[in-house]
Amino acid sequence: METPKRTETNSKRKVHFPTKSVFKVIKNTLYLLVCATLLLMTIIVLSSRASGGEPQIFGYQFKTVLSGSMEPTFETGSIIVVKDVENPASLQKDDIITFQASENALVTHRIIEKFTQGENTFYRTQGDNNDGPDTQPVLSENVVAKYTGVTIPLIGYFLNFASSPMGTAILLIGPGLMLLGYAVYSFRLALKELDRQNKEAVASTDTEA
């Protein structure tokens, strides 16, 4: 009596990855990041407009680096974050400070020496990329802020443009247009989903009939 042959089959299960869900999460995350960035830039620009000077939020100021005197600590076109100094006379050597160099000029350089004359405290400063110290020592009362160590590369170019009348208009209108576009996109997706569900319901009814 012949033994019945057994046919062996190797069935491989197909693994389905939630591709649509992953892409949806990535899309929503990117959208939120863009909106958050635009919102932050809008707040910074409006703060600058309201104060008539540098953008300031909670005591922190955003300064655009206009020269390469402090490279490589921070590059030209970067944004640096500085904070108000409660006691300008308490600063020490190696602190990086922003000070009033002239009536219309702010400079951010490193303290290389601290000294006093009478009751006044002075700082000798120098750019990290400069060969020698600045010509005039800085009176402590002329110190505007201290560098926090936070630098955002290249954003200074964008912030300068955003502070212009045209840039401000674009920055204010941009987020609104993005939200409107996203709302239209979401509405179209909802309509497609409703249409798909209606077609499935009709097909199911025809099958049962």
> Domain-by-domain residue ranges, the chain?
32-173
* pLDDT value at residue 185: 79
What pLDDT, on a 0 to 100 scale, did the predictor assign at position 157? 76
| Dist. CA 156–CA 32, nearest whole Å | 22
Q: What residues act catalytically?
A: 67
Report the chain's mean pLDDT, rounded to a whole number.
80
| Residue 209: pLDDT over 90 | no
Cα 145 to Cα 137: distance, rounded to the nearest angstrom: 16
Confidence of residue 135 (pLDDT cuts 50, 70, 90): very high
pLDDT (0 to 100) of residue 83: 94
Cα 69 to Cα 126: distance, rounded to the nearest angstrom = 9
Q: Give the E-state strand segments of the chain in sequence order.
A: 56-57, 60-64, 79-84, 96-102, 105-117, 120-126, 138-139, 143-152
Q: Which of helix, strand or coil describes residue 115?
A: strand
pLDDT of 110 reads 98
Please state which architecture CATH assigns to domain 32-173.
Answer: Ribbon (2.10)
CA dist 164 to 39, 53, 107, 108, Å? 17, 13, 22, 23
**Across residues 176-189, what is the average pLDDT?**
76
Q: Read off the pLDDT of residues 67-97 as tens digits, 9 standing for 90 and up.
A: 999 999 999 989 899 999 999 999 999 999 9
Query: Per-residue pLDDT tens for 10-60?
Result: 544 555 545 667 677 777 787 777 777 767 766 666 666 665 556 667 778
Q: What is the pLDDT of residue 28?
A: 76
Q: What is the pLDDT of residue 68?
A: 93
